[in-house]
Structure 1
Amino acid sequence: MATCPAGHSSASTDYCDVCGERIGGAPASAPTPGSGPTGPGAGGAPGAAGIPAAPGGNPCPDCGTPASDRFCEECGYDFATGGGKPTPAPPEEPPAPAPAPEPVPAPSSPAPSSPAPSSPATGSEGGREAEGAPAADGWVAVVSADRDYYDAIIAELDPDAGVIAFPPYCPERRVPIGGGQVRIGRRSASRGVTPEIDLRVAPEDPGVSHVHAVLLARPGGAWALVDPGSTNGTSLNGSTATIPLNVEVPVGDGDRIHVGVWTTITLRKGEAP
């Protein structure tokens, strides 16, 4: 057994089984070169949702990691829809210079030009990070430390196991969500993972995987929740029973998504971020 920098015992000696931290300065695994699938479910026999049938399938087209389930465990690529971190396009050749225009006499009374519209500001506002583009109908994910969920999780642990303390201060965060998919997890520079709902913000929940769960946009402004294979599972609305892996579960306004040891993400529709 190896021990990660956070103190967890791990059967794996490169990355911690519990929190995914790198162990003992082991070199990050390099992606296997080769040509990968060019679309969802390419190569192999896909399952009901375009998921590779077994581990060791075709490599991810973005990082080369062999497919083991619907989402790439290294970069979050979605084998079913082709989503995830986009493959960079080759640089285009610069266009040939246009011929110089013929000189045109200046008008005697030039018309006044209208001012160009100013572009909206981006970045953070009021100390809150702009962590995702808002959906057209105003969906917001409210991230909080849930004491009731924490107590239910601790009650199910082995009494001899080390107890993880509930954070004394964890301010609520409101993250606008939109687009085709919204990943929930913890960012990792070594793995190139940056989830849209990043739970590595202090105080960091030690039970959250790098790509723990994914919200998929559905027609009519609805959402579906998928757990692509997190270490500790994902549950809903106060239950500690985890949802099935790689199965779409419909969620909507007011639903509470529980991940890690104390984190609850509540979906809200039509609210300002």
Structure 2
Amino acid sequence: MPTCPAGHDSADDEFCDVCGREMDGAAPAPAVPASGASAGAPAAAGEPDVPPAGATCQACGAPLAGRFCEACGHDSLTAPPTPAPAPAGGPEPAPAVPTDRLPDGTAWTATVSADRAYYDTVMAAEGPDASGITFPPFCPDRHFPLQGKQISIGRQSRSRGVSPDIDLTGPPEDPGVSHLHALLVAQGDGTWAVVDLDSANGLSVNEEPSPLRPNTPRPLTDGDRVYLGAWTMITLRRSP
């Protein structure tokens, strides 16, 4: 099975099933300590937390390339899930409620839309395979209630066993979205943050000129817009 520059096995020999990179593209650059810092020194303020080389996810055992696991989305800076054992001969226990879940009564919705202005910007910048991507003639808004601790965003891949919570497989399907592209992470104050899982094409928020740094949570507020792929816009709304 072919292996992409980031080290993922892929059934597709053109673009990686997991991160969406071109199979013959350049490998992702390793994290480099800040100038003057020793190898064992802590990362500087504002730098993303990067696990040591060879580290594996405490939740599922997959190799880690950044703070958030590309296979299951677990945050490597938090403790792994520890489900309670079932009593002998008794029913399975109910899953534990995450300690940092959204406060009761807080309701958020993510609305997925096709944004023509963003598409035009991507085409003007001659993004990946821009000439072969067309804006969908019909794409009704899709609404996803946000519940729990983390919400994965991407496109389903049966061969890789990837089933994101916000599945952008379509139709219509945005080919610029990686199979596991990003995470929405619940914050203790009742808001959300978005994390780019080192996707091939990245993502941006609102009209900010630069894409987000991979594996670095970016806080979101009511009405913020997350742009990814060739034309996908995700708007977060908080219920009054």
Fold match, TM over 0.5? yes
2:62 pairs with 1:65: yes
1:173-215 Cα deviation digits (max 9, x unpaired): 1111122222111222333332221111311111111221111
Task: Give the root-mean-square deviation of aligned CA atoms.
Answer: 3.4
Q: Which residue of 1 aligns with 2:165?
A: 196
Q: Which residue of 2 aligns with 1:93?
A: 88
Distance 1:237 1:75 in 2: 27
Distance 2:78 2:127 in 1: 39
Q: Quote the offset at 1:157 in angstroms.
A: 0.7
Q: Quote the offset at 1:228 in angstroms.
A: 2.1
Cα–Cα, structure 1 residues 12 and 248, in superposed 2: closer, same or farther, change >3 Å? Answer: closer
2:178 pairs with 1:178: no
1:54-75 Cα deviation digits (max 9, x unpaired): 4422x22444322211122223
Tell me, yes or no, if the aligned pair for 1:235 and 1:259 is still in contact at 8 Å: yes
SS in 2 for 1:221: coil
SS in 2 for 1:153: helix
How many equivalent residue pairs?
Answer: 200
- Aligned to 2:189, which of 216, 220, 231? 220
Q: Quote the offset at 1:164 in angstroms.
A: 0.5
- Aligned to 1:78, which of 59, 69, 75? 75
Alignment TM-score, normalising by the size of structure 1:
0.62
Cα–Cα, structure 1 residues 46 and 92, in superposed 2: closer, same or farther, change >3 Å? Answer: farther
AA partner of residue 248 (structure 1): P
2:133 pairs with 1:155: no
AA partner of residue 72 (structure 1): C
Percent identity for Structure 1 against Structure 2: 47
Which runs of 5 or more residues in structure 2 are unaligned?
19-39, 91-101
Distance 1:192 1:46 in 2: 35
Q: Quote the offset at 1:220 in angstroms.
A: 2.2
1:54-104 Cα deviation digits (max 9, x unpaired): 4422x2244432221112222322212246xx6776654215xxxxxxxxx
Alignment TM-score, normalising by the size of structure 2:
0.70
SS in 1 for 2:170: coil
2:202 pairs with 1:233: yes
1:228-261 Cα deviation digits (max 9, x unpaired): 2111001011345211112221111010000111
Tell me, yes or no, if the aligned pair for 2:156 and 2:167 is still in contact at 8 Å: yes
- Aligned to 1:14, which of 7, 10, 17? 10
Distance 2:230 2:66 in 1: 24
- Aligned to 2:216, which of 247, 250, 253? 247
Cα–Cα, structure 1 residues 89 and 46, in superposed 2: closer, same or farther, change >3 Å? Answer: farther
Which runs of 5 or more residues in structure 1 are unaligned?
3-10, 22-43, 96-132
- Aligned to 1:166, which of 111, 114, 135? 135
AA partner of residue 192 (structure 1): G
Distance 1:160 1:192 in 2: 26
AA partner of residue 51 (structure 2): A
Q: Tell me which stretches of 4 or more aligned residues in structure 1 moved more than 6 Å.
A: none
Q: Which residue of 2 aligns with 1:53?
A: 51
Distance 1:138 1:78 in 2: 23
Distance 2:213 2:48 in 1: 16
Q: Quote the offset at 1:46 in angstroms.
A: 8.1
Tell me, yes or no, if the aligned pair for 2:10 and 2:16 is still in contact at 8 Å: no
Q: Quote the offset at 1:161 in angstroms.
A: 5.5
Tell me, yes or no, if the aligned pair for 1:51 and 1:79 is still in contact at 8 Å: no
Moved more, 134-143 or 175-184: 134-143
- Aligned to 2:108, which of 117, 129, 139? 139
Cα–Cα, structure 1 residues 253 and 260, in superposed 2: closer, same or farther, change >3 Å? Answer: same
Q: Quote the offset at 1:15 in angstroms.
A: 4.2
